[in-house]
Structure 1
Amino acid sequence: MKLKSLLVALIVILVLPAGRALAAMDIQKVISPTGIEAWLVENHTIPVISMQFAFQGGEVKDPAHKAGLSALVSGLLDEGAGDMDSRTFQTALEEKAIKLGFSSGQDRFNGYLKTLTENREQAFNLLSLALNKPRFDPDAIDRIRQQLITILIRQQEDPSSIAAEIFREQSFPHHPYGNSPIGTEETLNSLTREDLLLYMEERLTRDRLVISVVGDVTAEELGELLDRTFGILVDEAIDARVTDTQPEMPAALYLKKHPGHQSKILFGHGGIKRLDPDWYAAFVMNYILGGGGLTSRLAETVREENGLAYSIGTGFQPREYSGLFSGSMGTQNERASEAIALTRDEIRRMRDEGVTEQELQDAKTYLTGSYALTFSTSDAIARQLLGAQILGFEPVYFERRNEYINAVTREQISRVAKRLLHPDNLFWVVVGSPANLESLDIPLMGDAAKTE
């Protein structure tokens, strides 16, 4: 309890400057002359512009035989554009201290740009070249492809990566979410320059584009920059149709034997999507159960009181087409079965008993008090604006978010816990050399099934 009190006190101290910034945030909806929309927060006190943008549809849209396509494109867009090869393009960025980059996610293809105001024109010109005239030179393709293959090879020896792969494949055996985000060596080697060019034309399109900007730029100036940067993108996307799905993981324990003294454990079952009406009750409940770091029930019981885990946590993972409740922990091999049993018991206790009034009030204090800290920098504000747009929210959401948290009741948490937590249906993945798994009374799979 002392730790919780200390955290609350620290929040009060740290949140004041960020809270003032959040209260003063004026979000403008900017529409460019050609109809491109962006959310803008002007800040002329520092000569910096930060932009975050995303194209809806990411790795989940990659065909199975072209898995890794989004990842390869994201790695190549800053590797030369227009008449500039990779070295020339990177030098142009470095000379003006411009930060530009891309990444692929399961449901979105992301990009960012950050520049000093005095270098604004060059920065947006370079971004426009990357999006509209990427070179995709053969040597760059081979280099980035090999980097991804090297990552795949390293993941084959990493317990966390091994566990994540098993969990993903068992959870979504008949859905693109089950595919490797960066593909396989076979699919990566099959990708051609024509695949990359077609990706740009069919998937990075104006109808999938979401933009947020924070910094030293006016709405009128931004409108012109948006048209120059994104205006000549193709209007409408052509890509695979993906349907909603429910995770299909079994109620079982999958063991993958791995040398060493520790076991990496993942666990979970189906969850909810972000726009589910029960989201806020589930969010607060999970904070108390396993999302609150060292103050959560699981951390206190499994880690602090019994010393069964080095780390432990849980969370709801909403996706565009599905949702998960999942958790992870690291433990000594000889303590793995005890850690699993106690974790399952704590999840069952949450489902059956709910939370105390003190736990609820402490959670609300932290979750509402710390919210302003997510707006502490221009980059952080831009990310928040982008996320709200992706979810279809209006700017007023930021004023009301804490109201949603404070409205959660113990009765709602009790109902939601019974709806969403199913301790006997959890799927467990253990990578290591644990002992006494048969004592858990959980069906065994993988290497554990081979030794029964």
Structure 2
Amino acid sequence: MNMRALLVAFTLTFAAPVGLAQAQPAPSAATHDHGVPVQRIVSPGGIEAWLVSNATVPMIVLSAYWRGGSAIEPGNLTGVTNVMADMLTEGAGELDTNAFKERLQDLNMGLDFGASWDGVGMSLTTLTENRDAAAEMARLALMQPRFDDAPLARIKGQLMVGIRQRETNQGYIANLALDRALYPDHPYASRVSAASVQAIDRAALQERRSALLTRAGLKITIVGDIDAETAGRMIDRIFGQLPQGAPRPEPPDVHLHPPTPLIIRPLPQPQSLILFAAPGIGYDDPDWIPLAVANYIIGGGGFSSRLMDQVRERRGLVYGIGTGPSVRDHSALIIGSAQTENQHVAEAIAVTRAEIGRFYRDGATQTEVNDAITYLTGSFALDLDSDVKIAGVVGGYQAVGRPIDYINRRNDLIRAVTLAEVNRVIRRLYNPDAFTFVVVGQPPVDARGELVVTQAPAIPHGDDPAAH
């Protein structure tokens, strides 16, 4: 499983919480309408996990997530958590980098680690017949990483190249500008620097590993050809030697600065990247599911969304435009993006703001809500058509604190959303004046640095997109 995809799954809920010696399933088991049973098990060593047993394919997928990531690393060592995660598969025990990777290849297994702002993730995939050997490789990576000088120098060198290249990367520049406009003093607005990379050494990696990779805050999901008893033994084999640890320190919650209507970051490119964002809500907010429906209507539904219809299809101002909730442990935004030719930036922003304003003023229609519900519930099966995908969804729900039966109730919760609930969340979150817009490129500007409109946009007014 791709580690980046795994960490994304841990942040999305739409695509997109022994004593038994034999690790028998506890009564809290759930089966959703796609036939995936989710069990809570506890290993003989006392480690809890969620298990989906499925013997259809002789494969096992295990994902693990530790709460605590880049947002709580020392300020002079920004980036150390990501480097530590990368280094876990660069040699362990008696196996140096080459030997470790050759062993993974011989076992036809995957083992990846990655870090996000809020956590560290692990993904293991193995054939059933290689289960024990694969578990031993994961144990070695967690308990006996070598952190050798040569692979560390290589990874730090790659980071230094990335630092140089990011100065011309539109996505990096736009996201940094947005973060620093909305929460400039929060760790989420920090970025790795040449100085912080140079300061990362073996001792720093060991400290991060010891601080983060403990039983405290550990969430484990196992999917595939394995029963509860065997899964319990596998869990103890991999994670049983981890120290108990203590709850991680938490960064403060984000307190968003007032919106900035427009931020322009000049970059000599023929096209401009536009980002726009406003305050959002977290997964535990009662309006979260109505927000999923509202987002689909305004910008999450591809070519069926209002923004795609108004800004791209009708006016040809952008190549594409979309929106979605962006949730971290201590922040929540509604964020959107679009790519366009420089000369169309002013018009594209004007039409986008106007359409969001009309959405805020008039709300959605019953037809739009019905269509969104049909898509969000019907497409869910595509997120569950392989063990790898199931592990991502179940692990994601577990990581963000959903109850074990959420996968069973998710579609029913969406079907229960009403037009009134959707319009309530629209009025709560889609005030066009709450959005900050960032442009990276070379749009036409006047002497005051303000965008120049090269063609008067046809602003949407009262026409109903649902009627087209």
Q: TM-score, normalised by structure 1?
A: 0.90
Q: CA separation in 1, counterparts of 2:311 and 2:257? A: 28
2:54/2:225 contact within 8 Å kept = yes
Report what 2:60 is aligned to.
49
Shift in CA distance, 403/239, structure 1 to aligned 2, threshold 3 Å: closer
Equivalent runs, 1:2-401 vs 2, <5 Å: 23-180=34-191, 183-237=192-246, 239-248=248-257, 250-401=259-410
Asked whether the 8 Å contact 1:55–1:204 carries over to 2, the reply is yes
For 1:136, what is the secondary structure of its paired residue?
coil
Pair 1:438-2:450 in alignment: yes
Shift of 1:28: 1.4
Q: Does 1:413 align with 2:387?
A: no
> Who is 1:6 aligned against?
none
SS in 2 for 1:393: coil
1:403 matched to 2:412:
yes
* Length, aligned pairs only: 420
Change beyond 3 A, Cα 1:113–1:38: same
Distance of 1:186 and 1:263 partners within structure 2: 30
2:181 touches 2:260 (CA, 8 Å); kept in 1?
A: no
TM-superposed deviation, 1:366: 0.3
Distance in structure 1 (CA, Å) of the matches to 2:172 and 2:135 = 36
Partner letter of residue 174 of structure 2?
A: A
Q: Return the offset for 1:172.
A: 1.8
Q: CA deviation at 1:238?
A: 6.3
Output one character per residue of 1:163-220: Cα deviation in whole Å (capped at 9) or x when no partner. 112112222211111112xx11111111121111111111111011101111111111
Consecutive unaligned residues in structure 1, runs of 5 or more: 1-19, 442-452
**Counterpart in the other structure of 1:4:** none
Deviation at 1:22, TM superposition (A): 5.3
Q: CA deviation at 1:244?
A: 1.4
RMSD of aligned alpha carbons: 1.6
Q: Cα deviations across residues 122-164 of structure 1 (Å, max 9, x unaligned)?
A: 1110000000000000111111111122222222111122111
Residues 273 and 318, structure 1, Cα contact 8 Å, conserved in 2: yes
Return the offset for 1:89: 0.2
CA contact (8 A) 2:216 2:247 kept: no
Cα offset for 1:59? 1.3
Q: TM-score, normalised by structure 2?
A: 0.87
Cα distance in 1 for partners of 2:213, 2:330 equals 20
Please give the secondary structure, in 2, of the residue aligned with 1:272.
Answer: coil
In 2, Cα distance between equivalents of 1:243 and 1:267: 24
Are 1:429 and 2:441 an aligned pair?
no
Q: Is the 8 A contact 1:170 1:178 kept in 2?
A: no
Q: Is the 8 A contact 2:32 2:407 kept in 1?
A: no
Corresponding residue SS for 2:113: strand
Runs of 4+ in 1 over 6 A off after TM superposition: none
Kept in 2, the 8 Å contact 1:73–1:196? The answer is yes
Measured at CA, do residues 66 and 305 of structure 1 come closer, stay the same or move farther in structure 2, by a change above 3 Å?
same
Q: Which amino acid aligns with 1:346?
A: E
- In 2: Cα distance, 1:237 partner to 1:95 partner: 37
Q: Distance in 1 between matches of 2:282 and 2:406?
A: 18
Residues 246 and 270 in structure 1, CA contact (< 8 A), matched pair in contact too: no
Query: Are the equivalent residues in 1 in contact too, given 2:67–2:118 (CA < 8 A)?
Result: yes
- CA distance in structure 1 between the aligned counterparts of 2:33 and 2:89, rounded to whole angstroms: 33
Contact kept? 2:394, 2:407, Cα under 8 Å: no
Contact 2:273–2:338 at 8 Å: present in 1 too? Answer: yes
* 2:64 and 2:218 in contact (8 A); partners too: yes
1:251, 1:424 within 8 Å by CA — same for their partners in 2? Answer: no
Q: Which consecutive unaligned segments of at least 5 residues does structure 2 have?
A: 1-30, 454-468
Q: Deviations over 1:375-425 (max 9, x none)?
A: 111011011111111222222211211111112111112211111112123
Q: Could you say if the C-alpha distance between residues 169 and 315 of structure 1 is closer, same or farther in structure 2, counting changes exceeding 3 Å?
A: same
